[in-house]
Amino acid sequence: MDKRVVLAVAGSGKTTSIINSLQIDSRALIITYTVNNVENIKNRIIRKFGLIPNGIKIYGYFSFLYTFCYKPILHVELNSKGLVWQKPPLRTKNTDRNHYFTRNNYIYANRLSKLIINYSLAKTINRIEKYFDYLYVDEIQDFGGNDFNFLVELGKAKLNQLLVGDFYQHTFDTSRDGNTNAKLHEDYVKYTGRLRKSGHVIDMSTLSASHRCSQTVCLFISDKLKISINSHRSDSTLIEFTNCEKDALRLFRDDEVVKLFYQSSNKYSCYGDNWGAVKGLDDFSDVCVVLNNTTLKHYLDGTLHTLPSKTLNKLYVACSRTKNNLYFIPEKNVRKLKDFQ
């Protein structure tokens, strides 16, 4: 059995690698985090086969946990009413019901995977092995808290496994629970070490080059953000910083160029979004990254790579959305347009 973690770069074809490995008669379980990616995977499978084959099942992560893992095995015994996304009590024992359940019998979503690990892991793995020969997990960099522990435990399942993700596109967690894996994404070596210990081969080369980004953009990301990324392309594109208010306003008003902000893009009337919110999107030709005072200083000082990891990762997401040109402007040069409709 092949159990593999493919650590990819932006635009390298993470989801495509999953789709390409599927056959019409595959018995495959595909898990991803976001609703958007569930729909994306479904649509791409339909494009490949004309339908979703009976043996291929696509789940959002929490839907998989609750409907496939929890309900058939634990629901009759524990009788929950569903999931709730609220902070559970920290000082309770793992063996106490109120560690996992509210007083109204709802399961704390961030402890559902922990409940399964502690009370039904073997049965859950047996159930996966019964129905599937292949396990695919997309966007693994977003698994945090107890959910990362669950991902590691799934390494025990006797079936082929392909886990794909981009460590540096980690911008949020599936869930958090106190100090559980709180510093997981601060150390690349320790992160890959955890996955390697779970029985997975770590593949850093298969998806190390981007189809989306030009060589120019990849060199900028590698040099300025210190995030290694290659390109399948050989062409050059434009990277431009402008501190001229007139040029910044021109770019700002150009609806062919998406404007990406660190936060609060909704306060500007323009074709724009926030850095982290565009993860997974692949339909931008030219991108204008809007720098707030902090990131502007780091840009000018050549120290973008020293930004806090979550800020750096969001900036990486923003820069790697472009298929062509990449622009940078200070937010102060367009702030007078803020809140104008």
**Residue 236 pLDDT more than 60?**
yes
Please report the pLDDT score of residue 91 as a whole number: 87
pTM of the entire structure? 0.88
Interatomic CA distance for residues 338 and 89, integer angstroms: 41
Give tens-digit pLDDT for 61-88: 999 999 999 999 999 999 899 999 999 9
Interatomic CA distance for residues 34 and 36, integer angstroms: 5
Is 4 within 8 Å of 161 (Cβ atoms)? yes
Q: Which helix (H) or strand (E) holds 56?
A: strand 56-60
Q: Which single residue is written with the structure tokens 């996304």?
A: 85
Please calculate the CA angle 60-164-195 and round it to the nearest 5 degrees: 105
Task: Give the mean pLDDT of 181-209.
Answer: 94
Interatomic CA distance for residues 108 and 2, integer angstroms: 34
Q: Which two tokens stand for residue 228?
A: 């290694």
Among 20-24, 51-55, 93-97, 171-175, the range scoring the smallest mean pLDDT is 171-175
**In the beta sheet, which residues pair with residue 137?**
31, 163
Q: Minimal CA–CA distance to 84: which of 115, 105, 61?
A: 105
Task: Give the mean pLDDT of 124-128.
Answer: 98
Q: Where are the domains of the chain?
A: 3-207, 210-337
Please report the pLDDT score of residue 338 as a whole number: 76
Say which CATH architecture domain 210-337 belongs to: 3-Layer(aba) Sandwich (3.40)
Please report the pLDDT score of residue 321 as a whole number: 96
Q: Give every CB contact of residue 74 below 8 A, 6+ residues apart in sequence.
A: 115, 116, 119, 120
Chain-centre distance for alpha carbon 288:
22
Give tens-digit pLDDT for 279-324: 888 889 999 999 999 999 999 999 999 999 999 999 999 999 999 9
Please report the pLDDT score of residue 339 as a whole number: 65
Task: Give the mean pLDDT of 181-208.
Answer: 93
Please report the pLDDT score of residue 341 as a whole number: 45
**Residue 135 pLDDT more than 70?**
yes
> For the chain, how far is it from start to end, CA to CA, in angstroms?
57
**Residue 181 pLDDT more than 50?**
yes
Q: Which two tokens stand for residue 48?
A: 């490949």
pLDDT, averaged across the chain: 94
Query: In the structure, what pLDDT confidence band is assigned to residue 335 with cuts at 50, 70 and 90?
Result: confident
Distances (CA, A) of 192 to 185, 186, 197: 10, 11, 9
**Residue 168 pLDDT more than 90?**
yes
Domain 3-207 identical in fold to domain 210-337: yes
State percent of the chain over pLDDT 90.
87
Please report the pLDDT score of residue 293 as a whole number: 96
Please report the pLDDT score of residue 31 as a whole number: 97
The CATH T-level fold of domain 3-207 is Rossmann fold (3.40.50)
Residue 2, CB-side half-sphere exposure with 13 Å CA sphere: 9
Give tens-digit pLDDT for 142-155: 999 999 999 999 99
Residue at 89: amino acid letter:
P
